[in-house]
Structure 1
Amino acid sequence: MPKSLIVDETTETPTYAKFTAQPLQRGFGHTLGNSLRRVLLSSLDGAAISSVRIDNAKHEFDSLDNVVEDITEIVLNLKCVKLNIHAEGPKTLEIVKDKAGAVTAADIVCDSTVEVLNPEQLICTLDKDKKFHAVIEVVNGRGYLPAEENTAPRTIGTIPVDCLFSPVTRVNYQVGAARVGEETEMDSLELEIWTDGRISPRNALEEAALILRDHLQPFMGSQVQEKNVVLTEEEERQFKMLSQDVEVLDLSVRAMNCLNSANIKLVFELCNKTESRMLKYRNFGKKSLDEIKEKIEKHGLELGMTLSDRLLAALEAEAAKVRADAEESN
C-alpha cells in the first residue's frame, strides 16, 4: 500500500498537477485510476449560470439595437463565465451598464458569497451610451445539464443556459511498474488533473476520494460502528468538539468562504490540515490562517494535530454521514 501521495511540485500550477501513488497491488493501478478519473470528470460539485433574462430581449434569437452581439452570442459568452458559490441554493445576480464599451464578467453585481474567477470574460459590447440590464441565475450542480433539460419554472423572456458544472476539464492516468524489495509485480499509478480554476487539482482529487469513500461505506458492514464504541474518555471529549460544523468557530465571511471552497465542513477536517497545506488553497492567505489558528486554539486545538487511529476512524465515519445526509437533503 502507498504510504503517501507524491505531487510533482515542479510542474504544479493552480489548474494542473501530477500525482503518483505507489506501490499498489497488481491490478489496483487501473482499478483506482479509472474510478478516480470517472468521479473527477462527472461527480464534483460546481456552479454555473442556468438562465438569463435581458431587458427588451424576447427570445434567444433576438438582438438589441445598442449591443454589437446578438442574444445567442451573449448566451455563449455567459457559458464561459466561471463562478464559485459559497452558499446553499441558487443565486440571482444582475448585470447593469449604461456606458458604451465592453461588458465583462467583472460587471456582474455579486455579494460576498459569489466569486467570479474570470472577470475579464467578455459578455457583450455596447456601441452607445444606453442602459444594458440582465438578470442571471447561478446554481450548484454536478456534471452537465443541457439547456433543453433545464426546465425550472421561469418568467417569460428568461432564456435557459447550458450548465457545465464540473470544474475538472481533463484527467489522464497511466499505470507503470513499481518495485518493493524483491517484489516486482507491483503497480505505480500516475494521475494528471486539469481544472478550469474553480478548484485546484489537489482539492479536486481530495473531493473525488471522499466521494468514493462515502459510496463504499455501506460495504464496510459493522466495522465503522465497532470503531465508534472504543473511544477513551479523552477521545470522546475531542470527538464532541472535532465533529462539529466549522460554523461553531465563528469565523469571518472571508475565512468561511475559503473553507467552503476547500470543502472543509467539520472542525476535524480543518485540524487535520497543516499550515502549509491550508496556504495552498485558492484565496487563502496569512490573515485567514492566523484567524483560524486563533479560533481553534481557544478550543485547545491546532492545525496538523495528531489523532489516534480510533478517533480518526470515528471522525471520518461521522464526516461521511454528514456528507451523505447533505446529499440526501439536496
Structure 2
Amino acid sequence: MKSIKTSPHVPTKIEVKEIGVNKIEITAYPFEAGYAITLAHPLRRLLLGSSVGFAPIALKIEGVAHEFDAVRGVVEDVSHFIVNLKTIRFKGKDDSENISVDYKFVGPKVITGADLVNDYIDVVTPNIHLATINEDAVLNFSIVVCKGIGYVPSEDVRSTIPDGFMPLDSYFTPVTNVTYAFENMLVEDDPNYEKVIFDIQTDGQIDPLTAFKNALSVMHKQMAIFNSELNIEVPEMHNGDEDRPEIKVLSQSIDRLNFSARCFNCLDRSGIKYLGELVLLSEDQIKNIKNLGKKSLDEIAAKLEELGYPMGKEIPGDLLILLKKKFSN
C-alpha cells in the first residue's frame, strides 16, 4: 500500500555528460510523475528564448542602395550576401553590446567567417562562406553587430541603426538545439517516478552548461516576483524532512567518517561537527580552514566525493534550505 504524501518528492541527482562539440546531456532524477515535463518545457523555452548571443543587425556595402542590388566583381548578389552573413555567428571580444566594424577586401578572394575576425569581434563559425570576389574587384562593407536575445525583425531595429545602413533580421540565440526525453524509474517500489534527459547544443558563442545555468537563473528571477509581492516564506523544516535519506546521511558526526587524526582535529577545532556543515562550505572555505594542509584537503575531497557531495557541486535548492536551517548558526 502506498503511503499518503504531504509534499512531492524532490529530485536529488543530476548528471552532466559531454556528448559532442558544444553539446551536452544533462540528466536529473527522480521526479514525481508529471513533474519532469512541468520543469523541462519552460526550461527549453528559456534556453531558446533568453540565451544571450551576438548577431549582425545592420549592413552597409559601398555602392549599394538596397538589398536587391549587386556589386561589381562579386559573385553573390546582395540578397545572397545577406543570407550568408546571417549564417555567420559572431562573438564580441569585450563587454560592448553594440559593435560597428569596417571591412575591405580586394580580389581575387574567397571570403569566409575567419576573414571577419579582428580586434573587436570574433567568429565562432570561421568556415562559413560569405562571398567570392573576382580579380580587380574591391568589396568595402560595414556591419553593426549587437548583443541580444531571441529573434528581432528588421523593422524593429530600423530606427536605431546609423544612416545609410540596411536593417537585418537578427537571430541572437546561441542555443541551436534543445530536446528533452523522459524515462520511468523505480523508487521505493514505485515505478512511476521519472528521469528527464536534456540534450543541449550551442553554436560556440557560449558553452551549453553555461546556457543551461543562465536559463535556470532567468526562471528564478521571473518567479521571484511572487516571493516579493506575496511575501511567500520558505516553510520550516518538518519532522518528515528529518527522515529524508540525505538529511540522515548529512547529520553524521565527522568523528564517524574515519578521517585521519590531523584532519579530524582541524575540522573539530574550526567548529565543524557534522558532515552537513562540511558540505555547506565552498571549496575556498574548506581550503581556508586553519592549519588544514594539502594532504588533509585531499582527504576531505575524497571523502565528500565518496559520499556523493564533491566539493564545488551545487546542492539542490530545497536540500540547501534544509541544511542551512539545520546546521547554520
Query: Same fold by TM (over 0.5)?
Result: yes
Can you list the C-alpha shifts for 1:15-53, whole angstroms capped at 9, x where unaligned?
A: 322221100122211101111111111111111000110
TM-score normalised over the length of structure 1: 0.64
Structure 1 Cα separation of the partners of residues 201 and 143 of structure 2: 28
Structure 1 position 79 matched with structure 2 position 86 = yes
| Rg larger in structure | 2
3-state SS in 2 of match to 1:152: helix
Partner of 2:220: 213
Structure 1 position 200 matched with structure 2 position 186 = no
3-state SS in 1 of match to 2:159: coil
Partner of 1:101: 109
Can you list the C-alpha shifts for 1:50-91, whole angstroms capped at 9, x where unaligned?
A: 011011111111111121111111111110111122413200
Can you list the C-alpha shifts for 1:207-240, whole angstroms capped at 9, x where unaligned?
A: 11111111112223457899xxxxxxxxxxxxxx
Cα distance, 1:105–1:156 mapped onto 2, change above 3 Å:
same
Structure 1 Cα separation of the partners of residues 186 and 74 of structure 2: 63
Structure 1 Cα separation of the partners of residues 152 and 173 of structure 2: 10
TM-score normalised over the length of structure 2: 0.64
Q: Pick from 112, 115, 118: which aligns with 1:110?
A: 118
3-state SS in 2 of match to 1:68: coil
Can you list the C-alpha shifts for 1:149-177, whole angstroms capped at 9, x where unaligned?
A: 33234445411111111111222112221
Q: Pick from 86, 94, 97: which aligns with 1:89?
A: 97
Can you list the C-alpha shifts for 1:181-223, whole angstroms capped at 9, x where unaligned?
A: 2333322111112222222221221111111111112223457
Structure 2 Cα separation of the partners of residues 224 and 107 of structure 1: 55
3-state SS in 1 of match to 2:158: coil
Structure 2 Cα separation of the partners of residues 198 and 306 of structure 1: 24
3-state SS in 2 of match to 1:50: strand
Q: Pick from 149, 169, 189: which aligns with 1:182?
A: 189
Identity of paired residues, percent? 28
Partner of 1:17: 24
Partner of 1:3: 12
Partner of 1:290: none
Q: Pick from 116, 126, 138: which aligns with 1:119?
A: 126
Partner of 1:45: 52
- Please tell me whether the aligned partners of residues 94 and 108 of structure 1 are also in contact (alpha carbons under 8 angstroms): no
- Please tell me whether the aligned partners of residues 56 and 143 of structure 2 are also in contact (alpha carbons under 8 angstroms): yes
Give, in angstroms, the shift of residue 130 of structure 1.
3.1
- Please tell me whether the aligned partners of residues 124 and 203 of structure 2 are also in contact (alpha carbons under 8 angstroms): no
Structure 2 residues without counterparts, runs of 5 or longer: 1-9, 236-281, 285-310, 322-329
- Please tell me whether the aligned partners of residues 147 and 162 of structure 1 are also in contact (alpha carbons under 8 angstroms): yes
Partner of 2:262: none
Structure 1 residues without counterparts, runs of 5 or longer: 227-270, 274-302, 314-330
Structure 1 Cα separation of the partners of residues 283 and 41 of structure 2: 27
- Please tell me whether the aligned partners of residues 161 and 167 of structure 2 are also in contact (alpha carbons under 8 angstroms): no
Amino acid at match of 2:16: V
Partner of 1:158: 165
